[in-house]
Amino acid sequence: MGMTYRELPVKGVMTKSNLPVSDFSVNPYVGCAHACKYCYASFMKRFTNHPEPWGEFVDVKYWPEIKHPERYAGKEAFLGSVTDCYQPCEKKYGRTRALLEQLQGSGISISIATKSDLVLRDLDLIRAFPNARVSFSINTLDENFRREMDKGVSIERRLDAMKQFYDAGVQTTCFISPIFPGITDPAEIIEAAKDRCNLVWLENLNLRGDYGARIKEWIREKHPELDGLYEEIYNKKSRDYWTALDGRMREYTEQKGMPYLRDDDQHRSEFGDPPVVVNYFYHEEVKKSAKKANDVFGEAVKK
């Protein structure tokens, strides 16, 4: 089936965030064509009135032009908490670019998370923001596995885009997430990214909601040799795998001269050269209830 696109008038796009990394959460789209099998945002489908499966529809947000953007000076906005701002339809609709243009010169800092190299189109706009940060999600160097998991651009293209932002002086993050036990090799990915990023985040695979069952089924079908390991981690709630991986990553980063921090260390915004590696294995996702659906969307929809 093809993608379904719908224009969605909204009252605004800047939503106060309850995430610890930003003051505002900004999502110019609802839904995402990257259709990641492990997408934690798939729960949002029930708020959209879309019959299509998650990953086969996108609502394109249109908001009134932001007036007095200078009121956001000194604040930080995270673009892409529940969508990819640079998914393919951005090339046509340009809602992320429109937002960046409206916020130019306001003094707000921005962080962008993406799986796309379309973000390169806006490099000049992005680097004009103070403390601009761009994060690229990479959880494998194996293109076959990547294609099984998402419809984003190739890993090679993500790494190339990361390098261009890094060379342009924009702070870059290699977000190794989600780490699939027995499949993702974080050290291998860091080796590929260490000369093009200032920060590496490590995040474990969480299996919650509908996508949890899908991933377990995929593991049983494609990697039956890992079925026992996933049983231990996700059904018996063992942390042994993550504890052992934590130890290996600590040893690896020490050998490479890279700072290694745990989620409970006081780091928040550490960047460095060589890159700082941060372990988020044990952090809990921010839980949002259906009662706060408008916060998840980013704003109330105009009637």
pLDDT tens-digit map of 211-229: 899 999 999 999 999 999 9
Within 10 A of 88 (CB to CB), how many other CB atoms are there? 17
122, pLDDT greater than 90 = yes
Bridge partner list, 5: 58
111, pLDDT greater than 90 = yes
- Residue-wise pLDDT for 254-274, tens only, equals 999 999 998 655 444 567 778
| E-assigned strand segments in the chain | 4-9, 14-16, 24-26, 29-30, 57-62, 76-79, 109-114, 133-137, 171-179, 199-204, 260-262, 276-279
pLDDT of residue 280: 87
Q: Look at strands 24-26 and 14-16 and give their pairing.
A: antiparallel
Tokens of 53: 């499966």
The H-assigned helical ranges of 104-226 are 123-126, 143-149, 155-167, 186-193, 209-222
Within 10 A of 236 (CB to CB), how many other CB atoms are there? 9
What mean pLDDT comes out for the span 25-30? Answer: 96
Closest by CA position to 162, among listed 140, 132, 137, 142? 137
Tokens of 232: 């231990």
How crowded is the C-beta side of 226, counted as CA atoms within 13 Å? 18
What mean pLDDT comes out for the span 73-84? Answer: 95
pLDDT of residue 277: 93
Kindly report the pTM of this predicted structure: 0.89
List C-alpha distances in Å: 9 to 6, 14, 43, 82.
10, 14, 22, 18
Tokens of 244: 């052992």
Instruction: State the pLDDT confidence band at 27, using cuts at 50, 70 and 90.
Output: very high
- Residue-wise pLDDT for 147-198, tens only, equals 999 999 999 999 999 999 999 999 999 999 999 999 999 999 999 999 999 9
Residue 189 contacts residue 158 (beta carbons within 8 Å): no
Bridge partner list, 278: 201, 261
Peptide bond just before 275 cis, omega within 30 deg: no
pLDDT of residue 262: 80
Q: Which of the pair, 55 or 295, is modelled with greater confidence? A: 55
pLDDT of residue 294: 34
Eight-state DSSP code of residue 47? G
User: The tokens 């906005």 sit on which residue?
Assistant: 77
Mean pLDDT of the chain: 89
Tokens of 157: 């293209």
Residue 33 contacts residue 46 (beta carbons within 8 Å): no
- Residue-wise pLDDT for 32-50, tens only, equals 999 999 988 776 677 787 8
What is the phi-psi region of residue 183: left when phi exceeds 0, alpha when psi lies from -120 to 50, beta otherwise? alpha
**Which of 43-47, 78-82, 135-139, 297-301 shows the highest mean pLDDT?**
135-139
